[in-house]
Structure 1
Amino acid sequence: MSNPGSETGGQTRKRVALFLDGTWNTVGDNTNVWRLKALCAARSNDGARQVVYYSKGVGTNFGEKVRGGMLGYGLDRAITEVYEWLVEAYEPGDEIFIFGFSRGAYTARSLAGFIAKCGLLRPGAALGVAQLFERYRKDDTVPTIRQLAEMPAPVAAKLGLEERWMLADAMPVPIKMVGVWDTVGALGIPFGNIPGLSRSGFKFLHTGLRVPLENAYHAVAVDEHRQAFAPTLWTKKIRDGVPANELAAPRPIASVEQRWFVGAHANVGGGCRSDLLAQRPLQWLMQKAEGHGLAFRGTVEPGADMLRAAISDSFREFAWGLYAKAKLNHPFYRIIGEPPRLFPGGHDEIVNETIDASVFDRWRADAAYRPQNLADWARRYSVDPAALTRPVLTHEPSHEVAA
C-alpha cells in the first residue's frame, strides 16, 4: 500500500478545506465557518491549488428543525456526505483541513475519526461508503486501516473479505488540521436507545485525537450557560501506576490547543448580528490554518470595540425563554481548568487548555464582566485576571503561550 504523497514525490498536490456549519446554520447566518470558507484563496502561497467544500448545518430544513437540531437526526448522513465528496476530490499528496462549528464541529471531529479508523476509499472501490461507515460504528475491537496495513502477511492472509477489500480499496491518509469552534456533544435527549433520535445511538462516533490528525485547535466559549450545549473537549487517558515515560501516547499533543474566548456559543462560532466577539476566535483559527499552509484572501482584525461588545444571553433567549424556565432560571457554568475525571484504573486530562488574552483584556476594560467560572478558576489558581496580559495555560497560569 503506497503512502499518501509517494506518488507526487512528497509534494503537495492541493489543499482540501472542508467547512461544516452548526445546527440550523446556513450561509446567511454569517458564521465563522462560512466566513473562513469565503476567505479561502484559490491557491496557497506555494502555488498549490485550494479546493473547498461547505455543508450547512444539521436541521436547516423545516422538517429537520426539531429532529436535527434537538435530537441529532441526520448527523451520520452529514458525515458520509462529506466523506463521499472527499473520495472524489482527494489525490495522494493532498493536505486535508477540516473546520466546524457547534454540532458541525462534532461532525468535523467525527469525520476525522472515520478517516483515521477506516481510511479513505479510492474512487471506484468495491467497498461502499455505507458499508465502511457500518464498520466505523463498531467498537475498537475492529482493526483500524493502519493496523490492517501493518499486519504480518500470514495474519493478513486470514482476514475476512471486508478487511481484504479495505486493504485493497482504502488508504490511510493524514489530516493536516482540524479547527473547530465550540464543539457541542449534545446529540439528543435521553429517551434511551431510539435509533436516529437519542444520544445513545451516537456513542460510536470517534471525536478524539487519533494518530493521523496532525494539528488540532478548538475555540471554546466562556459565557455559554446552556447545559445542553456543554462543550466536548479533547482529553487524554492516564493509567494509574504506569510511569509517564512508559505511556504509549496515541499521538503527540504539542500540536493541540483548546482556547477559551469571551462570549456565548454563537459569539465564538459566529452567527449573531453585528457581532464583534466572533472576530477574535475567527482570527485565531485562521492564523493557525495559515501556519499550516492554508492561504486566505484577506485578514481579520478584531478592533478595540470588541472589549465592550454585547454578549448573547443564549440561556434566556433559547427556545423563546422556555429552556431557562425548564432549568428554573439556574444557568450552567462551564468549568475552566476542570480537574481530571476519574475512571476505573486511571483518569482523563483535558489536553492543552488555554485562555486567550482577550478574556483578560475584557476583565480589565469592563468592570461588569466577572464570569463565575473565570472567577472560580482565578481563585483555584490564586491569580488575578486583571494582571494577565498574555494567553496562559489553565492548569499552569504562570506559563504563557503564543498568541
Structure 2
Amino acid sequence: MKRIIFCFDGTWNRLSADTPTNVVLTAASIMRQAPDGITQIIHYDEGVGTDRLEHWSGGIIGSGLVENVREAYRFLIFNYDPGDEIYVFGFSRGAFSAQTFVGFLRHVGPLHRLHAARIDEALELYRQRLTESPGSSDRMRRFRADYANKVCIGTDDDDWRCRHVPAYVQGAAPLFAIKYLGVWDTVSALGLPAITPFSAHLNRKHAFHDAGLTNFVESARHAVAIDERRALFPAVLWGDLTEINKAKSSSADALDAPYQEKWFPGVHGSVGGGGDIRGLSDGSLAWVLKGAKLAGLRLDVEHGSRIHGFAPDPFAPLINMKMPEKGFTDIIRTDRPGPDHLWQLSAAAIRRWTANAERLPERTLYRPKALSKVSERLSAHLITQTAPSSDLLTEHVVQSGDALRKLAKQYYGDAKLWGVIFEANRDVLDDPDELFVHQRLRIPAQSIVEAV
C-alpha cells in the first residue's frame, strides 16, 4: 500500500512563486516515506491560467481545468494499485479542480494502466452521464467492469458485477474511495460568473462537472473566506453536512465530524495563502492539515521543513499582502452569504469577533456583514466568554517537540495537569494535541493548579 497525494493550486499560482500558497506548502511538506515505511507520492498541478496563452481565459473562465484533471488522472492510472490511499488538496479554482477530479473518479473509476488510451472515452462517458438516456448508468458500470475492473465504486458496483460479469465473485474487487479531501476557498473554475450577462446560456456546456461532496470521500474539510467580497470569486459551498455526517454516526457540529466546512477570517488569499502575510492562512492550513493527519497522511514538521514554525494568528491583517494590487476582479463587490450556524465558524473567526478593537490591525471591531446571520449568537458568546487568568507563573514559548503533558510535567511535576494549561489558553489553542513553534502559552500560577 502507498499514499498518492494530488495537489491542485489556485488561479495564476505557480510552484516557483516567492510567496507559496497552502497547496505548495502542503505538497512540499509531505514525507516521501512515512515513519511506518509507507511510500507517499505527490502530483502537483499549477493553477489554471498559469500558462501564458491561457492566462486570461484560465483566470476568468477556467479554461484548462479539463486538461489539469486529465493530467492528474493519467498520473493516477500509472501509479495506482488497489488498496492505495488517495488524498486530494486544492485552493481557489484548484479546489474546484480537486473536487471535479474526485467526482470524475467516482463515476469512471481508475482505469487499469493497460487501458490508459481510453482516457478520452472515460471523459466522454462522464460528460454524457447527465443526458439520462436509457441504459446510461449500465454503460458506465460496464465501462468500469471492462477497463477499471480492479476496484468497485461502492457496493452497487459489486452487486452489478455479480449479476452481469461471468465468474465474478462478490468482494473480488475492493471498494475504491478517496481517503481525504482538503480544500481552501473553492471558486468555480469553469464558465462565466453568474453576475455576467448570458452566463447561464454560455455555461451550459460546463454543467457536466460533478464537484459535490459525497461519502465516496471518507473525510473532508473546506476552509472558506469570510471577508472575500469580489463578485468574480463566489465561494462554492458544500452546504448542509448534517446528513452526510449522520451516515457516519456523527453530528455536523462535532469537533471531530468527518465532514467539515468552516468560515475563516480574511480574504481569498488569507485563507488559501500566497501572500507575504501568513498569520491567517497558517491557521486555515493547520486546520485542513489536521484533518489530513487524522486520516493518516504523514507530514514533515521538523526543523527545515516548509511548515516548521508556521504561526497561526487570528488577529493578523485581513489582507495577506503588504502591498496588495488592484485589478479588474475588484470592480464588482458583494458580501458572501456566510454561515447559518455558529458551529460553522472557525475558532479563529470567533476569536477575532470577540477581540478588542485595539488588538486588531484595523483598530475596529470585527463585524463583517457575511456573519450577520450568526451575529446575535456571537454577541451572546462574547458575554459568556471567560477571561484568561492573569495569575501566571510564567509565559512559555513553544519549542519543537513540546506538548501540554510535557509542559505540565516541567512546571508542575505532574503530566496529568496538562488540562490546566489548556484551559488557560483556550483563546489561542483549538486542540490540546496541536501546538505551534514560537506560540506563547500562559502557565498558570501554582495557586490556580492547587484549586483544581
Task: Name the TM-score, length of structure 2 as normaliser.
Answer: 0.67
Partner residue of 1:39 out of 5, 22, 29: 29
Aligned to 1:151: 160
Which structure's CA Rg is the greater one? 2
More strand, by proportion: 1
Task: Measure how far apart 1:202 and its partner are.
Answer: 1.6
Match of 1:5 in 2: none
Match of 2:218 among 199, 214, 220: 214
Q: 1:199 aligns with which of 197, 203, 210?
A: 203
Superposed, 1:58-207 pairs within 5 Å as 58-125=48-115, 128-140=118-130, 141=132, 142-143=136-137, 145=141, 146=153, 147-151=156-160, 173-185=176-188, 187-189=190-192, 198-207=202-211
For the 8 Å contact 1:261–1:355, the answer to whether it is kept is yes
Distance (whole Å) between structure 1 residues aligned to residue 236 and residue 343 of structure 2: 12
1:225 to 214, 229, 240: 229
Instruction: Tell me the secondary structure at the aligned position of residue 190 of structure 2.
Output: coil
Shift of 1:274: 3.3
Provide the secondary structure at the position in 1 that maps to 2:128.
coil
Counterpart for residue 311 of structure 1: 318
Residue 292 of structure 1 pairs with residue 288 of structure 2: no
Per-residue CA deviation, residues 299-326 of structure 1 (Å, 9 max, x unaligned), is 555547x344222299x967x444444x
- TM-score for both structures, normalised by structure 1: 0.74
Measured after TM superposition, the shift of residue 28 of structure 1 is 2.8
CA separation of 1:261/1:235 partners in 2, compared to 1, >3 Å: closer, same or farther?
closer
Cα shift at 1:291: 1.1
Q: Deviations over 1:240-283 (max 9, x none)?
A: xxxx9xxx969987410001111100111011123322111111
State the 1:211 CA deviation.
3.3
**Offset of residue 290 of structure 1:** 1.1
Range moving further from structure 2, 116-125 or 375-384: 375-384
Whether contact under 8 Å (1:95, 1:175) holds in the other structure is yes
Preserved contact between residue 264 and residue 271 of structure 2 (Cα < 8 Å): yes
Q: CA deviation at 1:126?
A: 7.0
1:370 partnered with 2:358: no
1:225 Cα shift? 0.3
Distance, in Å, in 2 between the alignment partners of 1:35 and 1:48 is 21
Residue type at the aligned position of 2:369: N
SS in 2 for 1:26: coil
Which of 312, 315, 334 is the aligned partner of 2:336?
A: 334
Aligned residue in 1 for 2:15 = 27
Greater mean alpha carbon deviation, residues 186-195 or residues 173-182: 186-195
* Aligned-partner SS, 1:105: helix
Q: Secondary structure at the match of 2:103?
A: helix
Code of the aligned partner of 1:100:
G
Q: Deviations over 1:17-51 (max 9, x none)?
A: 11110111001330000001111112223221111
Measure, in 2, the Cα distance between the counterparts of 1:45 and 1:323: 45
Residue type matched to 1:176 in 2? Answer: K
Which residue in 1 is equivalent to 2:147?
Answer: none
CA contact under 8 A between 1:186 and 1:228: conserved in structure 2? no
Q: Which has the higher contact order (CA 8 A, sep 6+)?
A: 1
Q: Which runs of 5+ in 1 are unaligned?
A: 1-12, 158-169, 239-243, 340-351, 391-401
Aligned partner of residue 108 in structure 1, secondary structure: helix
**Share of identical aligned residues, percent?**
29
Counterpart AA for 1:21: D
